[in-house]
């Protein structure tokens, strides 16, 4: 239990850790236990006017104040700008770890020993290849197919190549699919990119590290061995770490929700890729670049900000459901920008982004609403420096997020309290209309 939860469960002077609710419709009082700072929504079901009426429910579009699970994967304190994976601060992981080690940590809950890391790296490295029919499948897309659409479809298609993945009750089987998915995601992501470029697909090079191999599959042409600048490799690896998990965000919720039907993990993760595709989630960094390009020069910023404040549009890359402070990932990315631009030269849009941030952070509208830069505000600038087209940005996010989705899926399938996701609704439509057959209606 966290300190915050312990405090919120503290008993009152009479020793109670509960919520007393008085239903003013009936005058009845109910005592609802408080556990981990929450009351059980199902406990509200006992509050009803009479036996004929349904019990009280909570209405929470977008789950703004509803916990859907217990999770030991990622901790966020949005007010303080804290992000931890399995208890380790994101700043330390970004500085001292690497993506594969972080993936191990997320999946297994602890840091690996030297031997465990060696075995993990070996397993991931030797599952990077995909069945040749996956390659043919990917070639079947139109020349201008969005790489996220291709990724979503090809991850889903993997479920047909590994039908044993449906056996989600078996721990070894689950492990196998997790390894496969983390290993193959860069291959699918890189091939989605190559397809759009009309370039031949590059097979994985198992002598390279995870991130180097990804860069090789993206950019290798006729050279014998692709050699990436180590500063760029490190920067991309850090970006993968920063995106690796973010507790119950939209795509993770999609993975959990679809996974709750006990479908195989490829199908569940492809739902996560679909959710990530949206501009309010993983697609935001693509939108940030478009916005910066549209603003064009610093002088145009004030009129753009006015438009945002008038509700004409959003300042993309700002604001977050959880962070009401500077997103800690954005701080790290801002630093990574310097390393990348040292190699590639400065992206001219950086100046506009920095000025936009400065103005927004001082503006009453953004200050009052606690809108700060999020992970997507600067990441697009780095990706562009790598010469990724904007459509690829979300693919990079998806590769990074895969261990997080899988860690959450693993937690879900082992959690005895979980049920198939099935929210309630408040029905607002007509009732008991008499159906008139078409022949009579159209007569």
Sign of the torsion formed by the C-alpha atoms of 53, 54, 56 and 57 = negative
Q: Are 321 and 79 in contact (CB under 8 A)?
A: no
For residues 2 and 77, is the Cβ–Cβ distance under 8 A?
A: no
The answer to whether 282 contacts ligand CMC (rule: CB under 6 A) is yes
376 counts as binding ligand CMC under rule CB under 6 A: yes
Return phi, psi of residue 132, to 5°.
-60, -30
Q: What is the DSSP secondary structure assignment for residue 297, as one 8-state letter?
A: S
In the set 131, 314, 324, 335, which binds ligand CMC (CB under 6 A)?
314
Neighbour-count burial of 148, counting CB atoms closer than 10 A to its CB (0-12 exposed, 13-18 middle, 19+ buried)? buried
Listed in sequence order, the residues at least 6 apart from 147 whose beta carbon sits closer than 8 Å to its beta carbon are 189, 192, 193, 195, 196, 391, 392, 395
Residues in contact with ligand CMC, shown as a per-residue x/- string from 234 to 273 under the rule CB under 6 A: ------------x--x------------------------
Query: Nearest distance from residue 219's CB to ligand CMC, in Å?
Result: 26
CB of 158 vs ligand CMC, minimal distance in Å: 24
Q: Which stretch binds ligand CMC (CB under 6 A): 142-150, 280-288, 336-344, 409-417?
A: 280-288
290 binds ligand CMC (CB under 6 A): no
Q: Does 316 bind ligand CMC (CB under 6 A)?
A: yes
Min dist. Cβ of residue 253 to ligand CMC (A): 11
Out of 135, 231, 321, 324, the residue judged to bind ligand CMC by CB under 6 A? 321
Q: Single out the residue of 25, 80, 294, 369 in contact with ligand CMC (rule: CB under 6 A).
A: 369
CA 321 distance to own-chain centroid: 13
If binding is defined by CB under 6 A, does position 295 make contact with ligand CMC?
no
Of 233 and 333, nearer to ligand CMC (C-beta) is 333
Residue number with CB closer to ligand CMC (264 or 391):
391
96 is catalytic: no
Least distance to ligand CMC, CB of residue 293, Å: 16
Among 156, 317, 380, 403, interactor with ligand CMC by CB under 6 A: 317
Beta carbon nearer to ligand CMC, 165 or 273: 273
Q: Which of 284, 295, 349, 412 binds ligand CMC (CB under 6 A)?
A: 284
Per-position DSSP letters for 59-119, written without gaps between them: --GGGTT------SSEEEETTTTEEEETTEEHHHHHHH--HHHHHHHHHHSS---HHHHHH
Determine which residue in the list 374, 379, 402, 408 makes contact with ligand CMC, applying CB under 6 A. 374
319 is an interface residue for ligand CMC by CB under 6 A:
yes
| Site size toward ligand CMC, by CB under 6 A | 20
Least distance to ligand CMC from the beta carbon of 378, Å? Answer: 12
* Binding range to ligand CMC, per CB under 6 A, among 120-128, 258-266, 275-283, 431-439: 275-283
- Interaction of residue 371 with ligand CMC, rule CB under 6 A: yes
Task: Name the catalytic one among 127, 246, 320, 327.
Answer: 320
C-alpha distances in Å from residue 160, one per residue of 73, 256, 424: 29, 20, 32
Cα separation, 439 vs 430, whole angstroms:
22
Which residues, in sequence order, are CB contacts of 52 under 8 Å at separation 6+? none
The DSSP result for 354-422, as a single string, is HHHHHHHHHSHHHHHTT--B-THHHHHHHHHHTT--GGGHHHHHHHHHHHHHHHHHHHHHH-TT-----
* CB contact at 8 A, 147 and 196: yes
DSSP for 132-200 reads HHHHHHHHTS-TT--HHHHHHHHHHHHHHH-GGGG-TT-HHHHHHHHHHHHHHHHHHHHHHHHHHHTPP
Q: Nearest to ligand CMC by Cβ — which residue? A: 319
Q: What is the CA radius of gyration of the chain?
A: 24
In whole angstroms, how close is the CB of 137 to ligand CMC at the nearest point? Answer: 28
Q: How many CB atoms lie within 10 A of CB 252?
A: 27
Annotated catalytic, 320?
A: yes
Given the residues 237, 264, 327, 376, the one annotated as active site: 376
Of 4 and 280, CB closest to ligand CMC? 280
Segment contacting ligand CMC (CB under 6 A): 106-114, 221-229, 313-321, 415-423?
313-321
Q: Does 281 bind ligand CMC (CB under 6 A)?
A: yes
Is residue 283 a contact partner of residue 338, using CB atoms and an 8 Å limit?
Answer: no
Question: What are the residue numbers of the active site?
Answer: 320, 376
* Interface contacts to ligand CMC, rule CB under 6 A: 246, 249, 280-282, 284, 308, 314-321, 369, 371, 374-376
């Amino acid at each position: 239990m966290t300190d915050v939860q312990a405090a919120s469960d503290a008993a009152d002077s009479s020793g109670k850790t509960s919520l007393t609710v008085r239903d003013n419709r009936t005058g009845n009082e109910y005592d609802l236990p408080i556990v981990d700072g929450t009351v059980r929504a199902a406990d509200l079901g006992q509050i009803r006017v009479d036996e004929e009426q349904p019990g009280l429910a909570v209405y929470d579009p977008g789950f703004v104040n509803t916990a859907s699970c217990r999770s030991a994967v990622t901790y966020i304190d949005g007010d303080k700008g804290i992000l931890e994976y399995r208890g380790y601060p994101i700043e330390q992981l970004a500085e001292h770890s690497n993506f594969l080690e972080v993936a191990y940590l997320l999946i297994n809950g602890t840091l690996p020993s030297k031997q465990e890391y060696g075995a993990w790296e070996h397993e991931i490295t030797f599952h990077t290849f995909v069945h040749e029919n996956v390659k043919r499948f990917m070639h079947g897309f139109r020349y201008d197919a969005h790489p996220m659409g291709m990724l979503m479809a090809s991850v889903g298609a993997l479920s047909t190549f590994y039908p044993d993945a449906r056996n989600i009750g078996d721990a070894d089987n689950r492990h196998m699919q997790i390894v496969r998915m983390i290993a193959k995601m860069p291959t699918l992501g890189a091939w989605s990119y190559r397809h759009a470029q009309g370039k031949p697909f590059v097979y994985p090079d198992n002598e390279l590290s995870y991130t180097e191999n990804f860069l090789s599959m993206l950019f290798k042409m006729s050279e014998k061995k692709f050699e990436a600048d180590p500063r760029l490799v490190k920067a991309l690896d850090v970006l993968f770490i920063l995106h690796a998990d973010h507790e119950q965000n939209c795509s993770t919720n999609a993975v959990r929700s679809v996974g709750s039907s006990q479908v195989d993990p490829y199908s569940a993760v492809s739902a996560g890729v679909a959710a990530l595709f949206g501009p309010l989630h993983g697609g935001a960094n693509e939108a940030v670049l478009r916005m910066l390009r549209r603003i064009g020069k610093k002088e145009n910023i004030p009129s753009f900000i006015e438009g945002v404040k008038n509700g004409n549009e959003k300042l993309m890359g700002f604001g977050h459901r959880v962070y009401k402070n500077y997103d800690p990932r954005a701080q790290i990315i801002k630093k990574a920008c310097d390393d990348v631009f040292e190699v590639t030269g400065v992206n001219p849009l950086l100046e506009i982004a920095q000025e936009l941030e400065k103005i927004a952070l001082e503006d009453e509208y953004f200050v009052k609403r606690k809108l700060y830069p999020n992970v997507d505000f600067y990441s697009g600038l780095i990706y562009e420096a790598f010469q990724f087209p904007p459509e690829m940005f979300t693919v990079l996010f998806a590769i990074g997020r895969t261990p997080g989705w899988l860690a959450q899926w693993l937690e879900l399938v082992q959690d005895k309290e979980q049920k198939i996701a099935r929210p309630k609704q408040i029905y607002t439509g007509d009732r008991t209309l008499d159906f008139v057959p078409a022949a009579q209606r159209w007569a």
